[in-house]
Chain A
Amino acid sequence: MTAIDPTAHLTAEQIEELGRELDAIRDEVIASRGEKDAAYIRKVISAQRKLELVSRGVLLFSFFPPAWLIGTAGLSVAKIMDNMEIGHNILHGQWDWMRDPKIHSTTWEWDHVSPSDQWRHSHNELHHTYTNVIGKDNDLGYGIMRVDEDQKWHPFHLGQPLWNFINACFFEYGIAAYDLELGKNLHKRRRKNPEFRARAKAVGRKIRKQVLKDYVIHPLLSGPSFLTTLAATFTANLVRNIWSHSVIMCGHFPEGVQVFERRSIKGETRGQWYLRQMMGSANISGSRAMHFMTGNLSHQIEHHLFPDLPSNRYAEVAVKVRALFEKYELEYVTGPLPKQVFSAWHKVFRLSLPNKKPKVKTPDREQELVAA
């Protein structure tokens, strides 16, 4: 949809060949999934639980400032682990092959106000199938932002840096509202829809439990540390929200990422689907710790190609995927976190203002030239 199609140099055969090569990478990982991988996720889960327990324990004494700091830091990391490397990935079915009902996409519940089954639908199904297709993938701007030149500008968009900032701070609520498709369901008639009501109720229940835990019960348990523990859990949630929002923005918003028109995916082949995932995602480069804390969403490109492969394998897959990008002369959008975050925010600011319409597309430009 951008001015120049960066995949224009590929023939249909090449795209299908690319698809086959990607399938081969996938098959290789699937064939070698085993004990080590299972041990990995078990270890991460148990580490997360222990960290959360210890941090909450320390926060019982949070009136003592060093305890507040350590407890808050620990709880923030524990919450990030729960949502990113554990929750997001399990809910993708990455660990279903283990057949352990406790680590399964159908049974997992995460520390988040959106119930996991609702999130699974909006994320796995809508976002991952229709990645970056305007009008179909609501993750593109979450329905509150304009993220591409070709989207219609509206004065409402002037405020989008602010919306985006608020969304970052209360990201889990944003996601819950988004999973409920609140925007479109708040119309009078839709509000009465029993299916919507049931889902809204489920969200309400989940919010109540989460809020009660973080803002009532744990502070109460801390007795004299009530207020400081309250502040600590609030901070931990804030840190987790801003962190996950930043990571997720880096996945599809940085400059260089392509978006697609609805009609471009009609009759899409497997190769073309793969190609769209490649062009519609961006990575974050960094250390192993960095990859871990992003839930390996730093390997967003690999994740979008193979959303159900175990996250601990993306790093090795990335080497092969990157080689394919080079072979087919495609741009592998990646960069360190600050750069990608800046790039994504830059876009948010830039597109809050109207741009000269229409941005000329290649075929139109040719016509113009011919006409001239």
Chain B
Amino acid sequence: MTSAALRSRAWKLLEMITTPLLPSDYLDLVSPLRAGADLRGRIEAVHPETGDAATLVIRPGRGWRGHTAGQYVRIGVDVDGRRLWRAYSLTSPTNRQDGRVTITVKAIPDGKVSNHLVRRVKPGTLVQLDQPTGDFVLPKAKPAKVLYLTAGSGITPVMGMLRDVEFDDVVMVHCAPRPQDVIFRDDLHDLVADKKLRLTEVHTDTDGVLDIARLGELVPDWAERETWACGPAGLLDAAEEFWSEHGVEERLHTERFRPGIVVAGDGGEVTFSATGKTVDADGATPLLDVGEEAGVLMPSGCRMGICFGCVTPLKAGAVRDLRTGEITEAEPGVLIQTCVSAAAGPCDIQR
């Protein structure tokens, strides 16, 4: 018998010993970061960057496959007892010796997860991780000239790039309200002092918002540069337009954070994605009724919110709990009770 077959036999036997739990349920108690466990990480340190941003040093579990500079990772954090998932850019170089990675988080107003991570999370906390992904990355072949165009926390993926690969000719234009709001300011200035970077800071509180049409004044040879841009939608939209106006759109690479913010409304278009049906629903009719009405096979039970026999994944949009008025927004893994939830805007139910 091969050793793999032997191991799988042994594992089967272990499963018989621990049924109905799995051996991993017990192993997780002692070694949550071991190889073969669900991917998790332990926050080992939190370093403040600015008044509202901090860098988290995370030791990922053994299953971590490593990242490419510029990629992001989705992390699941328990905030007030509830697991919430967000994506953050990795800001550490890919060859960090100690195997740790960092993400840098900027607290956004009312941001549940970002405020928790910047201000409250304690070293030692376990978080859930996905493997890193994203195609906002550098090419294999080194471009001769590079421009990084960033604003606010849009600097985070770019910082990952800056720390990872050195180019001969790198220019960065970075926008932030005030000097003290510039994340990684000291690191950037060190790079400038070492002549590894030419940096233009635009302080929007005093200089006003960057007018992309005048980019040429800051970086005369911008059109010859391979450009990576990350920041708010307004900046990226303007950049895309500007680059294509000049016929160099293939030189521009952009990364957008937080696409499509859900606006909770009252009723909306409900899509039952497994069945492929779409109907209009008001804000008072339970989605269970809406689905049944539309001929979708909906699981149900008590029809009053007590049996949990109707839970269904919410793929997109938002729903309102008819009993408490609470809004639930779609996130991977979010399940709703269709018998006591109504559409709060357009939503997608997996039935």
Chain A contact residues, CB within 8 Å of chain B: 23, 26-27, 30-31, 33-39, 46, 49-50, 53, 92-93, 96-102, 104-106, 109-111, 120-121, 124-125, 128-129, 206, 209-210, 212-213, 217-218, 221, 273, 307-308
Contacts and interface: CB of A to CB of B under 8 A. Distances in A.
Contact of A217 (B17, B80, B307, B333): B17
Nearest to A87: B20
Contact of A221 (B17, B18, B19, B20): B17
A96 B26 contact: no
A368 B26 CA distance: 67
25 contacts: A23-B323, A34-B80, A34-B81, A35-B78, A35-B80, A38-B81, A38-B82, A53-B26, A93-B308, A96-B308, A98-B82, A106-B308, A110-B20, A111-B20, A120-B308, A121-B301, A121-B309, A124-B301, A125-B302, A125-B307, A129-B306, A213-B18, A217-B16, A218-B17, A307-B306
Interface string B78-89: 101111100000
B338 to A, nearest CB: 13
Contacts of B304: 129, 273
Contacts of B334: 99
A33 B333 CA distance: 20
Nearest to B17: A217
A53 B17 CA distance: 11
Nearest to B302: A129
Interface string B44-88: 000000000000000000000000000000000010111110000
Given A106-B308, A129-B306, 15 more contacts: A38-B78, A92-B308, A93-B311, A97-B82, A98-B78, A98-B83, A99-B333, A99-B334, A106-B335, A120-B307, A121-B309, A206-B20, A210-B20, A212-B19, A221-B17
Interface in B295-321: 301-302, 304-309, 311
A307 B326 CA distance: 19
B29 interface: yes
B84 A99 contact: yes
B113 to A, nearest CB: 12
B17 to A, nearest CB: 6
Nearest to A92: B308
A206 B20 CA distance: 8
A111 B25 CA distance: 14
Nearest to B38: A102
A50 B26 CA distance: 8
Provide the main secondary structure of the chain A interface: helix
B84 A46 contact: no
Contacts of B84: 99
Nearest to A129: B302
B97 interface: no
A37 B81 CA distance: 7
A160 to B, nearest CB: 29
Contact of A49 (B21, B78, B80, B335): B21
A109 B20 contact: yes
Contact of A124 (B78, B308, B323, B326): B308
Nearest to B22: A109
B324 interface: yes
A99 B335 CA distance: 8
For B16, B78, B305, B307, the residue with the greatest tally of chain A CB atoms inside 10 Å of its CB is: B307
B119 to A, nearest CB: 15
A35 B82 CA distance: 8
B81 A39 contact: yes
Contacts of B13: 217
A289 to B, nearest CB: 23
Interface string B320-349: 000110100000011100000000000000
A104 B306 CA distance: 15
Contacts of A38: 78, 81-82
For B20, B309, B311, B334, the residue with the greatest tally of chain A CB atoms inside 10 Å of its CB is: B20
B324 A30 contact: yes
A46 to B, nearest CB: 6
A124 B305 contact: no
A36 B82 CA distance: 11
A125 B21 contact: no
Nearest to B80: A34
B81 A33 contact: yes
Contact of B307 (A39, A99, A129): A129
